[in-house]
């Protein structure tokens, strides 16, 4: 692996961090070390990186803002790819072309400044554009599917192509990218609509206040842990089992919102995972419902 890291550095792919804790790059603030975290400079350098990894059969994981992922406490014996440098943005009337590494919250705010409507739902989602597209992130009965026109991706055979909204196969917290390994989101074209700037700003302000009241924003977390079953709310099912405040080590089910697990300051990834499994077991025992984890579990044995 050291030889591979040296090759990545010699080819000046981008900044490289060696044996670096993943806690820095996840909103849970937990996780083991990564053998290498690479920040490719551009698409050409990303392609070079993928060629190196492919030729040497090195596993990799493309990480956005780390806001919807739970790495284990074990070291990740591969390469973490961060697309921070893919942060271009261009406004074309009511369309926005934006890089995968751009902050979704920042994008939502920039759209409102331009008097463009459609991204207000994203004003409180702390992810990147690429991560949000991968997950089809959403809130307030809207999601990325409702605003994406097309997605520029790198294919497994290292070709750059565009996928239409239809080809992305968006569904609830789901997309084509989740089921087709090796495709990497590079850039997204959004189609919004013109709106009243003051009205849009008021909507965002109101929702920010609501989040402060209903979500444990003062603690590290990764947002909603479970997807909502059809016609139900996962948080309500968990709350009705009187599980708010349930704690394992430094991890706890939020007393403010039952579908949030928070790091009270000393949590390990294993603490969080133990609570996730406990909730799934209790909900199934009581309701016969198999909750689906919304967050991505990476580098676990099971």
Judge whether residue 158 has pLDDT over 70.
yes
What pLDDT score was predicted for residue 87? Answer: 97
Judge whether residue 64 has pLDDT over 70.
yes
Question: Does domain 89-200 sit in CATH 3.30.360.10?
Answer: no
The CATH number given to 217-298 is 3.90.78.10
Question: pLDDT tens across 250-298, in order?
Answer: 999 999 999 999 999 999 999 999 999 999 999 999 999 999 999 999 9
Judge whether residue 164 has pLDDT over 90.
yes
Judge whether residue 100 has pLDDT over 70.
yes
What pLDDT score was predicted for residue 92? Answer: 96
Instruction: Dump strand ranges (E) for the chain.
Output: 14-21, 33-40, 60-63, 69-71, 76-82, 89-92, 95-99, 116-117, 138-139, 142-143, 148-154, 160-164, 184-191, 193-194, 247-248, 251-253, 261-263, 296-298
Judge whether residue 60 has pLDDT over 60.
yes
23: Cβ contacts below 8 Å, ≥ 6 apart: 29, 30, 31
What pLDDT score was predicted for residue 302? Answer: 55
Mean pLDDT of 79-103: 97
Reported as a pLDDT band with limits 50, 70 and 90, residue 78 is: very high
Judge whether residue 209 has pLDDT over 90.
yes
What pLDDT score was predicted for residue 83? Answer: 98
The answer, as to whether pTM is greater than 0.95, is no
Annotated catalytic sites, by residue?
173, 224, 294
Judge whether residue 38 has pLDDT over 60.
yes
CATH fold for domain 2-82: 3.30.43
What pLDDT score was predicted for residue 301? Answer: 81
In the chain, where the domains are located:
2-82, 89-200, 217-298
């Amino acid at each position: 692996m050291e030889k591979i890291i040296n090759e990545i550095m010699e080819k000046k792919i981008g900044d490289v961090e060696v044996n670096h804790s993943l806690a820095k790059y996840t909103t849970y603030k937990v996780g083991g070390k990564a053998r290498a975290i690479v920040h490719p400079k551009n698409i050409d350098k990303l392609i070079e990186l993928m060629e190196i990894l492919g030729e040497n059969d090195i596993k990799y994981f493309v990480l956005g803002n780390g806001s919807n992922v739970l790495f284990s406490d074990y070291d990740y014996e591969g390469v973490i790819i961060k697309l921070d440098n893919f942060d271009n943005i261009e406004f074309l009337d009511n369309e926005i072309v934006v890089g995968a590494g751009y902050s979704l919250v920042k994008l939502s705010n920039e759209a409102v400044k331009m008097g463009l409507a459609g991204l207000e739902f994203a004003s409180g989602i702390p992810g990147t554009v690429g991560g949000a597209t991968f997950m089809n992130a959403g809130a307030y009965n809207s999601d990325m599917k409702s605003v994406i026109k097309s997605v520029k991706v790198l294919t497994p055979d290292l070709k750059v192509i565009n996928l239409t909204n239809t080809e992305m196969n968006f569904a609830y917290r789901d997309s084509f990218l989740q089921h087709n390994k090796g495709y990497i989101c590079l850039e997204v074209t959004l189609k919004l609509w013109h709106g009243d700037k003051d009205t849009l700003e008021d909507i965002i302000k109101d929702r920010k206040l609501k989040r402060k009241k209903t979500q444990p924003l003062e603690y590290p977390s990764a947002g909603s842990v479970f997807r909502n079953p059809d016609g139900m709310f996962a948080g309500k099912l968990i709350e009705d089992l009187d599980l708010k405040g349930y704690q394992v080590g430094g991890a706890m089910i939020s007393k403010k919102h039952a579908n949030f697990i928070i790091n009270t300051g000393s949590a390990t990834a294993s603490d969080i995972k133990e609570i996730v499994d406990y909730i799934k077991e209790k909900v199934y025992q009581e309701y016969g419902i198999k909750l689906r984890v919304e967050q991505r579990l990476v580098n676990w044995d099971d």
